[in-house]
With several copies, the nearest count.
Chain A
Amino acid sequence: MTRFLDPERAVAGLVPAGGVVAVGGMHATAAPMALVRELARQRVGIGRLVTSPSTSIQADLLIGEGLVEELVAPYVGFEDLGLAPRFRRAVEEGTIRLLESDEGGLTHALYAGAGGLPFVPLPPAIGRSDVPRSCPELYREVEDPFTGERCWAIRALRPDVALIACAEADEEGNVAFGRVPFTDRVMALAARALVVQVERLVPVESIAAREAGTTLPAFLVSAVVVAPGGCAPTASPGFYPRDEAALRAYLEEARL
């Protein structure tokens, strides 16, 4: 059953210390910042942080707090605003264990986690890059049993908990994305527990009026955290744009 919790209780109750934590949102859009800030406040150690194919402040902040031991993130940056300062420093100084990965591999690895598939072979193109051979923890070669050819495969990722931001929830705990889903759906399905931060509560009829595939049922949602404005300084589609001034201020401080 879905519980309705404040950020403090959701993080304390559902994010295991040293666990595999997935954090959604792409770039500076729909990052579950109310939950991310609470992770920092409670100083929850993260054994492995798994992000969307492109992540930003939601990862940089946790890395900067020294909470992340191991990172799976194909892109950490701030797009037009620049590189991710704390991520950059942690990698350059060797204070984080970065598992090199790619967008397609990560997405398929979460698909595998969601579907109980042990691993997923990747398109042949991946072998032309240096990514797979630089991370044997995630990528290994396998023989295609149909053709006999070698190909690269990625291991399934199964986060202990996923933290994502959606627009709305109803009182039963059903949630509506109310936005482009990015890869947050498969991240949600792959995780053993799911905490969804929402902008507001709506009647159940409002969720029911949405089209198939744009909502998630309560039975997949461990906890709903109602946090209006909780994506800031990232954008919450339909509610507010990214707060560029706040992001610039973060970057300025982070670069020190």
Chain B
Amino acid sequence: MSAPYSPQQLMACVLARAFRDGEVVVMGAVPALPLAACRLAKALHAPSLSYVVGGSGTVNPAPAGLLSQSCDPELRGGPVTLPLHEVVLLEGRGGALDVFCAGGLQIDASGNCNLVGVGDPARPKLRGPGSVGLPFLPAVGRTVIFTLAHNPRTFVERVDFVSGAGDTVALVVTPLATMEPDPGTRRLRLASVHPGVSADEVRARTGFELPVPEPVPETPPPTAAELAVLARLDPAGVLA
């Protein structure tokens, strides 16, 4: 029997489990979910994990709650802050940062992310914020993609604009399921469905042809220990 949990809490757990001890994780805008995941991993199985929060450059901040702004002054809690300029250097260099947490308005079958917009980039139907740091994705060890929007508009066969290439994508986490690249084709395939979700539902809400393993693994639900840590990290219930 497991306690009740929200889709975002499960996603935080799935992300956390993907981080290994001693690794360095970097995250971008709207950091609440990856921030929760990093702190969860550090609390439970990866005490030497390091994480860098977005534009602020703060390393291992431990604010009183989960923050949704990547440059929130409350992020000062970490022992060290790197000027963003130096984070940019390390992102391009390779070898220093192990995991990049990314997302997109569109995510395609090859794991490419698009933050530029929908439609012809020169005259888009929907203009997104822009590519920010995603073009350097292939220089970082591996990419973990998360999105709260699992629908055919987000998961498309081919993005309208490649902000960040999917070359190093290792995991995609949504409120319904997890995906991973097929080692042979590098196309995304279903890795697990979250408890209560069917593979058919995931396929119906994915805009590209999604290979499904047989049998379909179920994502392990949050453990009591994970939920206890999340409750402590997120007193305001940002992920609830």
Give A residues with C-beta under 8 Å from B: 1, 26-30, 52-54, 73-77, 79-80, 83-84, 87-88, 91-92, 94, 100-105, 107-108, 111, 113-117, 122-126, 128-132, 134, 170, 172, 174, 179-183, 185-186, 189-190, 192, 204, 207-208, 212-213, 215-220, 235-238, 241-242
Contacts and interface: CB of A to CB of B under 8 A. Distances in A.
Interface centre among B32, B130, B133, B162 (most CB of A within 10 A): B130
B82 A217 contact: yes
Contacts of A219: 24, 50, 59, 96
Given A29-B72, A111-B89, A213-B83, A103 B50 contact: no
Given A26-B84, A102-B131, A122-B92, 20 more contacts: A26-B56, A27-B69, A29-B73, A54-B70, A77-B128, A80-B32, A88-B127, A92-B126, A92-B127, A101-B130, A107-B85, A113-B93, A114-B86, A117-B92, A130-B116, A180-B56, A180-B58, A182-B57, A185-B83, A216-B80
B135 A129 contact: yes
B18 interface: no
Interface stretch (B136-144, B149-157, B204-212, B224-232): B136-144
B124 interface: yes
A102 B136 contact: yes
B78 interface: yes
Contacts of A75: 29, 115, 129-132
A104 B83 contact: no
Size bracket of the B interface: 35 or more
Report, nearest first, the 7 A-B pairs whose CB atoms are least far apart: A77-B129, A128-B165, A212-B81, A80-B68, A116-B92, A129-B135, A237-B73
13 contacts: A30-B71, A83-B128, A103-B131, A108-B88, A113-B93, A115-B88, A115-B92, A123-B139, A182-B71, A208-B80, A218-B50, A237-B76, A242-B69
B50 to A, nearest CB: 4
B90 interface: yes
A71 to B, nearest CB: 10
A130 B83 contact: no
B30 interface: yes
B178 interface: no
A145 B240 CA distance: 52
B164 interface: yes
A53 B22 CA distance: 28
Contact of A74 (B70, B80, B127, B132): B132
Nearest to A128: B165
B48 interface: yes
B134 interface: yes
Interface of B: 22, 24, 29-30, 32, 48, 50, 54-60, 68-74, 76-86, 88-96, 115-117, 121, 123-139, 161-165, 167
A104 B91 contact: yes
Nearest to B74: A241
B48 A1 contact: yes
Contacts of A113: 93
Contacts of B50: 217-219
Given A26-B71, A129-B162, A131-B131, A53 B55 contact: yes
Contacts of B163: 129-131
Contacts of A100: 116, 121, 130-131
Contacts of B164: 129
Contacts of A212: 57, 81-83
Contact of A182 (B84, B126, B134, B137): B84
Given A75-B29, A107-B88, A235-B72, A92 B125 contact: yes
B79 A174 contact: yes
Contact of A27 (B55, B86, B127): B55
A219 B90 CA distance: 12
